[in-house]
Structure 1
Amino acid sequence: MKKTIFTIILLLFTLFLVSCNTKRYEYIEGKINVTATTNIMGDLAFSIGGNKVSVYNLMDAGVDPHSYIPRPGDYNALGRADIILVSGLHLEAQMGEIFNEYQSIKPIINIGQELLASNLGSRLIESSEFGGNYDPHFWFDITLYKKAAEIFAAALIDYDPINKDYYLINLSSYLEQLDDLSNKVFNQLKQLGSTPRILVSAHDAFSYLELEHNFKVYALQGLSTEDEISPSDIIEIATIVIENNVSAIFPETSVPIETITALSEAILNHKDGFEITIGGKLYSDSMGNSNDDNTYLKMYLKNINTIVDALLESRG
């Protein structure tokens, strides 16, 4: 009897802890309720929808979408949403079947698929390492992200044509802000001069910077953080760093720092006296939740500032 009572108490305590750590979804009457997978997509929805929408993100800051497994509460957020906004291109690798369940019930805006079908589809990076699929981190190409804004605006107008003018005004304003961001990034990167811009990160989330900002990108992991890292992978990247005299390597907010730490140790073991700096953490699959990183615009510029600062400082 005592054992049974103890088991019940333990179960109730466990349920209490789960409930305390579970986000609560609330449907807001009078608004278009958008459930977005990542906070990057959520920011896009709010930037266009403004006060006409209520946005709920399934994944919080720092959450890795590649390995994210839906929680029980997510089904409520998806089921009650008016619109579901998906980043796509297999970023949300564990959620494909769930999206299929809702496909015939409500609008699901899959930005990646829409980009692929658009006139800018050729800008998407196809990767043999990702099974012939496309690199899902398209938001680091500002041109593609501007197209994503247009795609979502069109979806909102289709759902709520009465407020078309409102959405178009927001879209126009947001596109101007993205153009301003592009100019700021260009001016920041000019500080690096014509020296080869080599970026070494924890996982392959920054390949679009090659096209957009003339970087050569190397990463320990592939496009997905679920890819395993072997000792030979670490040695290969360490060799590249040494041969190209790379001065800084970068961890990420959604990837354990141990991967970059292991690379730093391998570099130092491979060549005594080689100076390598571990730069600040980059935002890859998620924005932050502070005042300086909680929007796409802030997150992107903070990434660039982090890269430039580390590379300039390590040059002395």
Structure 2
Amino acid sequence: MHNLWKKSWLIGLVYILGWQSYAFAKPLNVVTTTGMIGDLVLNIGQEHVEMTALMGVGVDPHLYKATHGDLRRLQQADVIFYNGLHLEGKMQEVFEKLARKKPVYAVTQNIDEHRLHRFGKAHDPHVWFDVALWHTAGLFVLEKLIQHDPQNETFYRQNAAQYLKRLSELDHWVKRQVSQIPKQQRVLITAHDAFGYFGTAYDMEVRGLQGISTATEFGLHDIKALKELILSRKIKAVFVESSVPKRFLKSLVAGVNEVGQPLNIGGELYSDAMGLSGTPEGTYIGMVKHNVNVIVQALK
């Protein structure tokens, strides 16, 4: 009887230890808002994170409303990352409430205030278009993954070192590519003013039909001002965005063509959302390379 009890006790101990090992090995459940943030998390966390990005292909984060399914995923998450700077305008209250119960982080919170663009009382949230700033966001994600899963710190640091090196190389590549465009032609016109950080980092003048948010309205004065700029600078192309309606820029192109100056849609850029999963554009690096290749080819 004593031996039977001892054997049962040992089996129970092995079971408990095994369950604890499973619990520790379970991936960190991370929920992000945009695919760009999700891509950071996956590259640094890899198999030690289970990542869900709420906003998919072609989704406009400025106008996005959380679904019941989103709220359930957020409530079940171990860690939540969002962009901040009011990119996810309609979800801000949700994050503030969740932050009372669980770790909720804006990946932009460690970016130097002096490097942020300000429009009136608001900051431009589109920081990922300056690859160096996105590098800073990556360091912040690394810090928080380690904080909430310290046993995998070495793994996270190794992944981050490799990925952030690729971002540094990407930053230099973008500068080389944009430098091929003649200075006079280095004007990027898009549907909304999402590329301000891109312009500052890579020496391009940037204009958008709408403001930094797609919720911003525009009028005839905005269209007239862009038309005059295009005519005076003899700009060859403007660019539509994957997550913003294209009809307004198409009207602008038609108006310029009517007065005898050729103007084309130079291509489609990824602004507030990445491309399809499984494609190069479905990654942050692939998205940036796609945008730069389209811009350079159209304006060079």
Task: Return the TM-score normalized by structure 2.
Answer: 0.89
Matched, 1:48 2:14: no
C-alpha distance in 2 between matches for 1:108 and 1:292: 29
Mapped partners of 1:299, 1:197: distance in 2: 20
1:234-275 C-alpha deviation (Å, 9 max, x unpaired): 111111111111111000000011021011122234xx2201
The structural deviation recorded for 1:196 is 4.5
Match of 1:225 among 204, 208, 214: 214
Task: Please say if 1:295 is aligned against 2:291.
Answer: no
Task: Give the corresponding residue for 2:239.
Answer: 250
Matched, 1:282 2:289: no
**One-letter code aligned to 2:83:** S
Matches within 5 A, 1:5-154: 30-115=26-111, 120-128=112-120, 132-154=121-143
Contact 2:237 / 2:264 at 8 angstroms: preserved in 1?
A: yes
Cα distance in 1 for partners of 2:197, 2:123 equals 11
Deviations 1:119-159 (A, max 9, x none): x331111112xxx1110000011111000000010001111
Percent identity over the alignment is 37
**How many residues are treated as equivalent by the alignment?**
275
Superimposed CA distance per residue, residues 159-193 of structure 1 (whole angstroms, 9 cap, x where no aligned partner)? 11111111111111011100111122122223214
Q: Is the 8 A contact 1:234 1:266 kept in 2?
A: no
Where structure 2 has 5 or more consecutive residues not aligned to the other structure, the ranges are 1-24
- The TM-score with structure 1 as length reference comes to 0.84
Q: Which has the larger radius of gyration?
A: 2
CA RMSD of aligned residues (A): 1.3
Contact 1:282 1:306 in 2 (8 A): yes
Q: Is the 8 A contact 1:204 1:218 kept in 2?
A: yes
Where does structure 1 lack aligned partners over 5 or more consecutive residues? 1-28
1:227, distance to aligned residue in structure 2 (A): 1.0
How far, CA to CA, are the matches of 1:152 and 1:59 in structure 2? 18
Query: Aligned partner of 1:121: which letter?
Result: E
Q: Equivalent residue for 1:305?
A: 293
- 3-state secondary structure, aligned to 2:60: coil
- Alignment equivalent of 1:215, drawn from 164, 187, 204: 204
Secondary structure class of the residue paired with 1:260: helix
State the 1:231 CA deviation.
Answer: 1.9
CA positional deviation for 1:65: 0.2
Check the 8 A contact 2:86/2:125 in 1, yes or no: yes
CA contact (8 A) 1:235 1:266 kept: no
Q: Displacement of 1:38 after TM fit?
A: 0.7
Task: State the Cα deviation string for residues 14-66 of structure 1 (Å, max 9, x = none).
Answer: xxxxxxxxxxxxxxx81101100011111111111111001101111110000
Structure 1 residue runs of 4 or more that deviate by more than 4 Å after TM superposition: none
